Structure 1
Amino acid sequence: MDIRQLSYFVAVYEQGSVSAAARLCCVAQPSLSAALRQLEQELGVTLFARLPKGVTPTEDGEKLYGHAGRLLSQLQSLKASFSQPVARVKFRLGLIRALGVERMSQLLREFSNNVQGLELHLVEPDEHCDARIITPQLLKAGEAFQPFWHDSYLLAMPPGTPLSLQAEVHLADFEQLPLIKRTPCDAWNTLYPELVRRGIKADVRADIQTIEYALGLVSAGVGCALVPNFDTLLQRQDIVLRPIVQLKLERQLGLAYRKNQTSASLTVLRQLCQPVP
């Protein structure tokens, strides 16, 4: 086992895909796959379950991820202790909730790698900050908005529910449907008024704030919840995802910053936040 293997493993874990990890690590996919197989052979375990779209970590993979993250962090700190000190560059980035852990982790890692001496502070979007990742509805006067992520919403439901047998969900299906309300949520703000207008009464079982808790309640069979169409959710076996017809549930995410603001770190972040094709 070596640092290279652990770095490849962490990349696959965070990307949920061997090909995406290979691109991130700037290595050929066969080489990364070979290193991963060698690591599994040395440990005598299977680290990932291969799926039609990507991979998902096994219990042993989850266990190794915690150890690998600490080891790589300690190694980075060790190297930094022998490096010449660099000027610290403070940057406050405001983030709304439910942006997606995997894609945000990749963005922040690339930002840190491209700004030498970056001291990144993640804050609430309404606090003083150098830039914000928000929806257009939260844009303030004097701010520019650079869109780069677009999410549509799906209905997450427990496996085995009658609704999961349908290929798509209609608004009439929400009548007395056990539902988990999540706020703030752009999709909920669109869906609920439309249900009220149509006289459709859903059975709201919980009111929470985070996607993680919502998915936990869905997995436990408490009810259904609106979630963005993150790639990692498509690989989960404990929930079923279905599109909702008759209503367009989506959101636009982008980078907001003051129009008269210029800095080297903001320029880097703007370059990283280019629209996803």
Structure 2
Amino acid sequence: MDFRLLRFFIAVYEEKNISKAAERCFVSQPSITNGIKQLEEMLSVNLFERHPKGVSPTSDADIFYPESIHLLAEMNRMENMFKKQNIKQSLSISIMPDLPIKLKTLLFEQIYLIYPSIDLHVHNFGKKSDLRLIIREFKHENEIFLPLWEEDYVLCMNANHPLSHIANISLEDLDGQEFIECPPCEAHQQTIGLLSNANKKLKITGSSDNKSEVLSLVASGWGISFLPELLVSNIQNVISKKVKGPRMFRSIGLSYSNESLKNSAVRKIIELISK
């Protein structure tokens, strides 16, 4: 049985949602839908009932779920059984700061499904590693970038800020507002450029290269700022809002060099995640 289809089924069964399953497996929603359809045809059963809010597993899915977990574990065990016992595979990943825990967890879960016994070494950003979890702008010239997620930037402010009462905020509403800048952030530079073209500007009252520190300044009422949506979710005393205008987002993914592909674990992870 196709390893990939089992991953898709387990993700849909646990998430009860095609979109969340696709995000978890790093594939498009049509890939998940087609994979489940293929699995249903292979098994000659209906595994999920579709409805507007998501999917519900059928009784056949309830039966197949524990079996699929067992099958996946067995496939991994058999694959590892014939590898030389004296060779322990290892994988190193360096991670840029300020990435959401949710997305990092999704990646680690998928690596564990593929290589449950691998020695995984997670390094600080900047240390040489087999893989780097970064935004596209940080890719080196000699690297390949595999996009996994797109995360929107949202306008963030203290809960008592005057803009918190405006339902539909436009870029023009930002004219003269006190703003916390993150100089490396392209969303910030894009905003400043758009306002400048309209003969408007922000009042820069603080800055930090670290988005977590920018968030702390926003929460304290020091000013407003654009920050990644998942980074600011459920933060006390901070309100986030969409702004009318061009979409601002960051593409998060894995970067790797041709040299890294000499590691068979890297090759397999990239191959499976790319599908």
Tell me the TM-score normalised to structure 1 length: 0.60
**Structure 2 counterpart SS, 1:134:** strand
**Structure 2 counterpart SS, 1:104:** helix
Question: Relative to structure 1, is the Cα distance of residues 272 and 218 closer, same or farther in structure 2, using a 3 angstrom cutoff?
Answer: farther
Displacement after TM superposition at 1:155 (Å)? 0.4
What residue in structure 2 maps to residue 46 of structure 1? none
Displacement after TM superposition at 1:19 (Å)? 6.3
- Looking at structure 2, the residues matched to 109 and 216 of structure 1 have their Cα atoms a distance apart, in angstroms, of 29
**Structure 1 counterpart SS, 2:169:** coil
1:182 aligns with 2:186: no
For residues 163-219 of structure 1, what are the alpha-carbon distances to aligned partners after superposition, in whole Å with 9 as ceiling and x for unaligned? 111223211122221111123222112112222332322121211122222222222
- Looking at structure 1, the residues matched to 139 and 128 of structure 2 have their Cα atoms a distance apart, in angstroms, of 14
Aligned AA for 1:165? H
What residue in structure 2 maps to residue 97 of structure 1? 97
Aligned AA for 2:134? I
Question: Would you say the 8 A contact 2:168–2:243 is kept in 1?
Answer: yes
Question: Would you say the 8 A contact 1:178–1:223 is kept in 2?
Answer: yes
**Structure 1 stretches of 5 or more lacking a match?**
1-17, 25-84
- Looking at structure 1, the residues matched to 124 and 88 of structure 2 have their Cα atoms a distance apart, in angstroms, of 18
- Alpha-carbon RMSD across the aligned residues, in angstroms, is 3.0
What residue in structure 1 maps to residue 208 of structure 2? 208
- Looking at structure 2, the residues matched to 101 and 210 of structure 1 have their Cα atoms a distance apart, in angstroms, of 16
Aligned length: 194
Displacement after TM superposition at 1:150 (Å)? 0.3
What residue in structure 1 maps to residue 248 of structure 2? 249
What residue in structure 2 maps to residue 121 of structure 1? 122
Displacement after TM superposition at 1:159 (Å)? 1.0
Question: Would you say the 8 A contact 1:92–1:123 is kept in 2?
Answer: no
- Looking at structure 1, the residues matched to 160 and 91 of structure 2 have their Cα atoms a distance apart, in angstroms, of 47
The answer to which of 264-273 and 114-123 deviates more is 264-273
Displacement after TM superposition at 1:132 (Å)? 1.6
1:169 aligns with 2:169: yes
- Looking at structure 2, the residues matched to 237 and 137 of structure 1 have their Cα atoms a distance apart, in angstroms, of 30
Question: Would you say the 8 A contact 2:91–2:118 is kept in 1?
Answer: no
Question: Relative to structure 1, is the Cα distance of residues 198 and 86 closer, same or farther in structure 2, using a 3 angstrom cutoff?
Answer: farther
Question: Would you say the 8 A contact 2:192–2:201 is kept in 1?
Answer: no
Displacement after TM superposition at 1:86 (Å)? 7.7
Tell me the TM-score normalised to structure 2 length: 0.60
The answer to which of 107-116 and 156-165 deviates more is 107-116
Question: Relative to structure 1, is the Cα distance of residues 237 and 271 closer, same or farther in structure 2, using a 3 angstrom cutoff?
Answer: farther
Displacement after TM superposition at 1:141 (Å)? 3.5
Question: Relative to structure 1, is the Cα distance of residues 274 and 218 closer, same or farther in structure 2, using a 3 angstrom cutoff?
Answer: farther
What residue in structure 2 maps to residue 235 of structure 1? 234
**Structure 2 stretches of 5 or more lacking a match?**
1-13, 25-84
- Looking at structure 2, the residues matched to 236 and 142 of structure 1 have their Cα atoms a distance apart, in angstroms, of 38
What residue in structure 1 maps to residue 4 of structure 2? none
Question: Would you say the 8 A contact 1:112–1:118 is kept in 2?
Answer: no
- Looking at structure 1, the residues matched to 155 and 145 of structure 2 have their Cα atoms a distance apart, in angstroms, of 29
The percent identity for this pair of structures is 19
Question: Would you say the 8 A contact 1:95–1:123 is kept in 2?
Answer: yes
- Looking at structure 2, the residues matched to 120 and 229 of structure 1 have their Cα atoms a distance apart, in angstroms, of 28
